Amino acid sequence: MNQAAGADRTSFPTNGPQALRYRVKGMDCPTCAGKIETAVSRLPGVADVRVNYGSQVLDLALDEAATPRTELEGRIERLGYGVAPLPTASDLAMAQASGGAPPAETAEEPEPPLWRTRKALLGILIGALFAAGFLVEQIAPGVAGEYAYWPGALVGLAYYGRRAAVATFAGTPFSIEMLMSVATAGALAIHAAEEAAIVVLLFTVGEMLEVVAAGRARAGIKALAALVPKTARLVDEADGTIREVAAASLAIGQVVVVRPGDRVPADGVITDGASSLDESPITGESVPKPKEVGDPVYAGSVNADGALQVRVTKTAADNTVARILHLVEEAQASKSPTARFIDRFSAVYTPIAFAFAAAVAVVPPLLGADWGTWIYRGLALLLIACPCALVLSTPAAIASGLAAGARRGLLVKGGAALEVIGRVRTVAFDKTGTLTAGRPRVSDILVFAPDASERSLLGLAAAVESGSSHPIARAILDRASADGVPLRPTRDARAIPGKAVSATVMGQTVLVASPRHAAESARLGPEAERAVADLEAGGKTVVIVVRGAEALGAIAVRDEPRADAAAGISALRRLGVRSVMLTGDNRRTGQAVASELGLDVKAELLPQDKLAEIAALKAAAPVAMVGDGINDAPALAAASVGIAMGGGTDAALETADAAVLNDRVGDVAALVSLSRATLGNIRQNVAIALGLKAVFLVTTIAGITGLWPAILADTGATVLVTANALRLLRA
């Protein structure tokens, strides 16, 4: 914790509860969040505790007359977490009202490399001590015996034992650390030091991987904020001069200049100029939209080809990207991922098992039986109660399932996601870049003039578009290159933002324009108008090539479905999974693609609309969301499980729970099949682990088996569940 910051903030306690916000470093899972919430809630004067482990944020109300702030922070630190104060919503509102700069957050230390994290260093140390013990036992058998493994086991026991003790005093006696500490101590007590060392080593490795996954997820959330530029070109109202200011300082009503190629720094309305804006990161629209005076623009969208003046309508804290970021964080906070099996198990099984073992060791001797015999049997039961095999049953199956998926380019970020994928009954797909390739391509070339041909029409259009980076221009140039059409020299090239591009080709003016703008320069006949209407009804974007005052023909482009999209949807249907398309594209385009692929469609959806659709689907049954853009991030986070296409944006990949790295729609069905196979393997492993324990429980109490068979009950079950899990590698 930043002690100076904490001291400054606690110098003058105020009357009544105060809203506080903290960043809690090391809070990487729901279990961590639960421990912190329990520990903090038990303090006097604390209310309204809200913990978001995804963003590592703790919100609460504190009456410092009952509990000083330093005591609150100290309790969190003693649990093993770092804590630093953050500005609250009221702090930000006060700063905005006063016109001052927002209060700065406590500077975050950069994340250390994986091998330098506390849990990684602990795992390396335990692993090294275990390896040293193994070598000692092999080189000089009988010299050290079981004590060769004690150092590794004791290091783990000291670390997790301390955390278990603190959690117990803070109100969580049956934490996962307590389970591991008791299991390790029990193994040492009955001279199973090798097993004790293995248990703490595997547990530490699992904790380390959890930290990595949580860190990457948080990095994906931070990537959302990078959409908005750090600076803006502000127009001074007094003299009209332009100066560069921080985008976060823009106020409602101010006017900014957005040059071609720049990102829009704030949500606003165009007051001067016209251009095409690429809004795909925000709305998912595959083709840039023409914009003119009076049209709204979104922060983070890219200005393609014309200078604009934009009047700011929303502050940085309330713009589109900020809302998306808020939606992602809220979705992650309200998301209920499968609780780790060991936590649920330890909450019920551990106290019952230990009470039963203690009763077996003590009650019969009190009734006149032999103390030595029943203490021996009690220790055997304690070892049988050791949850090693059960602890491994789920992670072993998950690890094998993840490895099998990785071989096919199916990346799943953890066991909870892999389990949920197999239970989904609906898969919601984004369109652009997910079901489609994400890049418009020429689909049709229509010739209107008798002296023109497809090749000449394509050549003229490519020549005019040769200096443009517009997606439609790239599609035309790609088609010309593929057909071997040479580019003719041009001069006097110019763009009419949002309407057309023109140039002089071989002494004649050639215009490539939208149908509406082309009608101002040349007349389209009834047949040509019907042909254009048919193309647009098919979800295609059409441009007209005009030479002089004559319309030579039309070129249509469309973001075509992926080659395997229809087969992928059919594969899901065979698995009993329904598919639906959620897209920000226009209704006509969405319906055309959906009809071709055979799935339902909801079109013209903004990020918040997608979130609402996901919530409605999720209320009926588990739902998966498949997307590739930043606009999909809230829906990816809110769904039961989010799946990103491998070629998508970093934010989508980091926010999602899984990714299909080969960009194949059919891989979504493969993920469902793999998950279902893994779930079946987990059920088998749990049955093996609990079944063997049940058998040896009876035989131990009956005196048929003793300590060494009890050890086999645990280690044998561990071997069996591991071998069974390895079968998944052949999936």
pLDDT digits (tens, 9 = 90+) for 238-247: 888 899 999 9
Of 155-169, 201-215, 549-563, 575-589, the least confident: 201-215
Of 230-234, 409-413, 550-554, the least confident: 409-413
The mean predicted confidence, pLDDT, of the chain is 79
Q: Give the homologous superfamily in CATH for domain 410-437+561-661.
A: HAD superfamily/HAD-like (3.40.50.1000)
Q: Which helix (H) or strand (E) holds 247?
A: none
Instruction: For residues 107-127, give the mean pLDDT.
Output: 72
pLDDT at position 360 is 86
Query: Which pLDDT tens digit goes with each residue over 42-63?
Result: 999 999 888 876 678 888 999 9
* 467 closest CA partner among 447, 443, 440, 487: 487
* 586 closest CA partner among 283, 277, 299: 283
Q: pLDDT-based confidence at 676, cuts 50/70/90?
A: very high
pLDDT at position 283 is 58
pLDDT higher than 50, residue 127:
yes
- Provide the residue ranges of all domains of the chain, joining segments of one domain with +: 18-98, 118-218+332-399+679-730, 231-318, 410-437+561-661, 441-558
Q: Which residue has the higher pLDDT, 400 or 391?
A: 400
pLDDT at position 339 is 34
430 catalytic? Reply is yes
pLDDT higher than 50, residue 445:
yes
pLDDT higher than 70, residue 347:
no
pLDDT higher than 50, residue 338:
no
Instruction: For residues 367-391, give the mean pLDDT.
Output: 71
**Structure tokens that stand for 675 in this block:** 């998950």
CA 257 to CA 310: how far, in whole Å?
6
Q: pLDDT-based confidence at 428, cuts 50/70/90?
A: very high
CA 492 to CA 244: how far, in whole Å?
33
Query: Which pLDDT tens digit goes with each residue over 63-96?
Result: 989 999 999 999 999 888 888 888 776 665 555 5
* Residue 356 near residue 381 (C-beta atoms within 8 A): yes
CA 149 to CA 112: how far, in whole Å?
30
* Residue 434 near residue 626 (C-beta atoms within 8 A): yes
pLDDT at position 1 is 38
CA 373 to CA 609: how far, in whole Å?
68
**Structure tokens that stand for 491 in this block:** 């001069």
CB atoms within 10 A of CB 594: 24
pLDDT higher than 90, residue 480:
yes
* Residue 32 near residue 211 (C-beta atoms within 8 A): no
Instruction: For residues 682-694, give the mean pLDDT.
Output: 84
pLDDT at position 693 is 81
Instruction: For residues 425-443, give the mean pLDDT.
Output: 86
The one catalytic residue in 305, 430, 663, 714 is 430
Instruction: For residues 319-344, give the mean pLDDT.
Output: 55
Which residues 6+ apart lie within 8 Å of 291 measured at CB? 270, 274, 275, 276, 277, 297, 308, 498
Fold for domain 231-318?
2.70.150
* Residue 721 near residue 389 (C-beta atoms within 8 A): yes
Query: Which pLDDT tens digit goes with each residue over 591-606?
Result: 888 888 999 998 878 7
Instruction: For residues 307-329, give the mean pLDDT.
Output: 79
Q: Which helix (H) or strand (E) holds 379?
A: helix 371-385
Q: Is there a common fold for 231-318 and 410-437+561-661?
A: no
CATH architecture of 18-98: 2-Layer Sandwich (3.30)
SS3 string, 283-299, reads HCCCCCEEECCCCEECC
* Residue 524 near residue 516 (C-beta atoms within 8 A): no
pLDDT at position 471 is 76
Q: pLDDT-based confidence at 29, cuts 50/70/90?
A: low
CATH code that applies to domain 441-558: 3.40.1110.10
CA 520 to CA 723: how far, in whole Å?
74
Percent of the chain with pLDDT over 70: 77
Q: Measuring CA to CA, how many Å separate 634 from each of 225, 631, 640?
A: 13, 7, 12
What single-letter amino acid sits at 647?
A: G
Phi, psi for 81 (deg, rounded to 5): -120, 150
CA 214 to CA 111: how far, in whole Å?
12
Range from 154-163, 386-395, 721-730 that averages highest in pLDDT? 154-163
Q: pLDDT-based confidence at 266, cuts 50/70/90?
A: very high
End-to-end CA distance of the chain: 47
Per DSSP, the three-state class of 233 is: strand
* Residue 559 near residue 474 (C-beta atoms within 8 A): no
Query: Which pLDDT tens digit goes with each residue over 648-675?
Result: 445 555 667 887 877 789 989 999 999 9
Chain Cα centroid distance, residue 32: 19
**Structure tokens that stand for 681 in this block:** 């393997």
Per DSSP, the three-state class of 2 is: coil
pLDDT at position 174 is 67
Q: Which residue has the higher pLDDT, 413 or 551?
A: 551
Q: CA 731, 399, 24: angle at the middle one, nearest 5?
A: 145
Of 221-230, 260-269, 685-694, the least confident: 221-230
CA 255 to CA 525: how far, in whole Å?
44
- Helices and strands, counts by H and E, the chain: 25, 26
Percent of the chain with pLDDT over 90: 23
pLDDT at position 731 is 62
**Structure tokens that stand for 381 in this block:** 């039961």
Which residues 6+ apart lie within 8 Å of 326 measured at CB? none
Instruction: For residues 155-168, give the mean pLDDT.
Output: 88
CB atoms within 10 A of CB 109: 9
